[in-house]
Structure 1
Amino acid sequence: MHASNEQFDAAIEKLGTAFLNTYPRKGAQLISQLAPDEAARLLQEQPLYIVVKLWKYIPPGSANALFQAMAHPLSIDLLCQLDANVALSLLAALDDNSRSILLDALKAQHPDLASELEELLIYPPDTAARMMDRSIQAFYADTSVHETLSQLKKLKSKIADVLYVLGPDQALIGELTLNQLLASAGNQTLGLLTTPIKGKLDVMDHKDTVVEMFEGLRARALPVLDAQKQLVGQIRFFDVYQSTKEELASDMQTMVGASKDEKALSSSWFAVKKRLPWLQINLLTAFAAAAVVGAFEGLIAQVTALAILLPVAAGQSGNAGAQALAVTMRGLTLREISTRHWYQVMLKEMLAGFLNGLAIALTCAIGVYLWSQSVGLALVIALALICSLVIAGSAGAIVPIALKKFGLDPAQSSSIVLTTITDIAGFMSFLGIALLLSDMLPVG
């Protein structure tokens, strides 16, 4: 839905160059509220340095839509200013025809950049090559500190924190930081200052491998080598952090049936289209849980206190399952665990559920006894809580791992599947144990 002309004029007045320069984050939030074509028209009025400053605060989904709506002069200028990996993600989001037209226009003005981006687009989406930045500084080992600093001063591009040192055959032999360089004597050669490389990545390494290596090495940046073992780029810790943060954020949405494409300021109709199918599925699973309760209708009619305590069992089961699911999802996303760890994760969550169940059962049993003066009712709720928390914990661990094992997105509506399991487990445990111990329960 397009904003009215009055809204657009008001936005222009509010989003003056001075305002955008001083408050780029706030400006980006306001721009994200406009339709992409109107936001692009607004940015067209701004100096390029303002657009670049705003861009890092615009969410990825909104940024893709806004980039698609931009006129070529601005989009080309923006591609030249952004990091290569950011520019690459914007190009990858375009359809084939639009991407081809834009690259042809870019090639006419900046052939080197166009060639670099075209080469990177050849690689599969989730590889190190698609994540790397080609803006690196590498020097031969026999170069002096004075000569290196002189060359760096002549560069127009941003200087990286990590510099790489090459041997005579251009093989990568080490690295040093910019701080080390500045603190060294001018006549020293880089070969004397270099430190060993903590780890190396191949252009075809999967994104999971990249994250695992950064997790293990705690490196500031890692070099990326091609098939001939030549240095072609680097991946910074910040890039991996951003990628993982976005993945975790999208996983949080898909776990509960919301689309990865939906933003906080998306239209209500877009939200309905993405959420309604999963809500309908959740409704069907809710009937399954209701059927369990219906099977014990006679018992509930006889012991009405069960109806009062039923939400307690289901609620605790749901919370315990959600905790296990969140921890397991984090482990899968950060590559702390894989599908082969399912048994260890399940045992850990079952034990945690059992111990939590004991503590919660004791507290709840005391409260129920003081309320009902019934030992039988207190015993039923205590045993039910222990059983349901063990089941919920193991389900919270197994559901995302099972989805990943079968080649599905482990975040895809895991919460909806888990809710069904925990509800049924909570109801079945509570009412099943109540039926077994019905002679101990107060009638009425």
Structure 2
Amino acid sequence: LPSPAAAGAARLPWVPPNASLWHSYLGVIVSRERQRMEHFQRAEDILLTLLESVHDREPRFLVDYARNLEALEFALCASEDAVTLEIPLRIDGDALRVLACQTRNSPARHPSELNTCCLEVCSPGTDLEDWTGVVDGMERGGGAGCLLPGKILQHLKELLVSAIVHCQRLFLLQPGDISAENLQEDAMELSLLIRGSWKSIRFDIVPVVRRQQEPLQLRRRQSDRGFPEGSLRKATEEAHFVPASPHCWRSSTHLPILKLLRGVDSLKGPRLDSLRLLDQLRDQDWGGQGGKGTLTFNHLKMVLLWSTELFPSPEDWQDLEGSVYRLLVILLRCLATQHLPHFLNPEENLFQGAGPDLASLYYKVESFAWDPQRFLRFHFGLHGFSGSWQADTETRALLQLPTKDASYWDTAYFDMLLSQFQVFRIQDNARLSAS
């Protein structure tokens, strides 16, 4: 697997004198990526050894060796967040019938329960009898039973524990390589701590049913605007169902979002570098205790994807500072309105229920936008942000304009915000007049 660190370093442009602080800050971030990749790959080797043993015992759990997307995400993220690892099941997803699921068992931590469903096994003799059962409250079906995530998770958990013991006996694993202490009875993922080098990485293992689907009817003006041609279609051509409760499944956008992120990386300009920089600020200055605040790396990924669509011109991504501000104006808008739409499911608000924390977070992000020099340095111990910043009332008023008019979620609107921060720098006459 090629190191994103080397690729990132190769992409760093010539540094003008007035931008040296931005690139010095980014350079330190990028310099850590090779070590993080080696850390990830060592832990990944241990996990694959374990999953191979699971597959030998139960061939219905497949081993997916293509982990490049997860590796890219881990390298980009500043904090040591858990790595989601979807384990594909050897099931013909296209032969399953998707039915509405209205059970009371869906966990509250999944706000997007609109996508909750049951997967009915219509054909008998499919070697899935031990994974199926009756689901109360399901949309009326009449088949052979539904695939139950709870049974699959329990089976996988038992196999993981057995595989750990087996691999240790054969000296395929060293003492301390894996900790199964976080395997929870009712969790919808199976967490393992795996030693990469001097510290461990948490892998959240999730069984997934894959199914071909019709192209998503994305609520866009142009579905591929700003992205490489066909990338949205390719990223969403396969539906992924993961456990939502012991009886129901939910649609997962984890891998489609990572595929879009990789597509963004193929475009010119410091797009992923902007994500790196803002995530470092999130972890170091904008988070709560230990960097664990309301704003997450997943939120910033969505901001980058919206930025890619709303600013489709290569001219928008010529320099690092301008690129960062394109993400900033969208992030500030979402914080001010307490609404961040999911890129693939715009009706889902990723900031739902986080109102009180978003208000304080807004001041931190705006203070960076007006005075980035205060933040573009590394420090240890106490957070660098002090709460003495006074928000700019004019900018706050622009950010909170009503959302009923779609023009307030358009390039011209964000161009106007960029002009507020004096980082517009676009020569397109149509966009100049629109803003």
Structure possessing the higher radius of gyration over alpha carbons = 1
The answer to whether the superposition gives a TM-score over 0.5 is no
Q: What TM-score, normalized by structure 1, do the two folds share?
A: 0.26
The structure with the greater share of residues assigned to strand is: 2
Between 1 and 2, higher relative CO (CA 8 Å, sep ≥ 6) is seen in: 2
Higher helix share: 1
